[in-house]
Amino acid sequence: MPYIVNLASNDRALYTRSIESLSIELKRSEQLGAHYVILHAGSSDDTRIGIQRMANGISRALNEVTNDIVLLIENTPGAGKEFGDRFEHITDIMVRCEQYDRIGMAFDTAHAHAAGYDMHTKKGVMTTIMELNAVIGIEHVHVIHFNDSRYPCGSLHDRHETIGKGTIGKGMRYILRHPLLSEKPFIMETPRMSIEDDLMNLNTVKRYLKRKV
């Protein structure tokens, strides 16, 4: 979804446009043969009110577009007034939506690290994934955005980095090899100047998969 969308906005015009935009994307995704639409959690002066407003907006869009597309809410770094940096926020949105079976999560590793979930060490990764499973339910996590982070844990800065070269570093290996995530699709959103950068990241991932953790 476009970043300009904010389904938690208290600006009536922006809120209405955001719902309309989501409805359009749900229809377009079906035409493309996609399975999911990914939406960032919103921002609000009041997180509690913002979560309810977002759930209401999602429900309206899903009521209007009754196809098989699953909406995935992506966790955020938590900068400024945005919520969705805590797993509990994602759950609170999901359970308030009328169509719970059409709601899930996209888990961004860099965003989680920036939000304060330690992904740098094996213990940190294990603790984070355990909490993700306990709060969200791993069955509701459909996609992993596999990104290293340029800034340290808890920085609230959303800057992705080359796999293994950021502050998550070796933690990327533990994420990739975690048994609860082994059947999930991983998507890299790493910095690139050309396809060579993508291939470099992909080769790093292949090495991680061959190496014992």
Per-residue pLDDT tens over the stretch 111-155: 999 999 999 999 999 999 999 999 999 999 999 999 999 999 999
Q: What is the DSSP string of 7-52?
A: TT-S-HHHHHHHHHHHHHHHHHHHHHT-SEEEEE--B-SSHHHHHH
Distance, CA of 40 to CA of 188 (rounded, Å)? 17
Within 13 Å and on the Cβ side, how many CA atoms surround 39?
Answer: 33
- Whether 4 maps to a domain, the answer reads no
- Whether 202 maps to a domain, the answer reads yes
CB 74 within 8 A of CB 84: yes
Domains in the chain, number:
1
Mean pLDDT of 67-80: 96
- Whether 160 maps to a domain, the answer reads yes
CB 37 within 8 A of CB 22: yes
What is the CATH classification number for the domain harbouring 110?
3.20.20.150
- Whether 2 maps to a domain, the answer reads no
In 3D, which of 6, 40, 32 has the Cα closest to residue 20? 6
- Whether 6 maps to a domain, the answer reads no
Angle between helices 87-96 and 47-64 (to 10 degrees): 40
- Whether 5 maps to a domain, the answer reads no
Domain that holds residue 72: 12-207
- Whether 45 maps to a domain, the answer reads yes
pLDDT at 3: 74
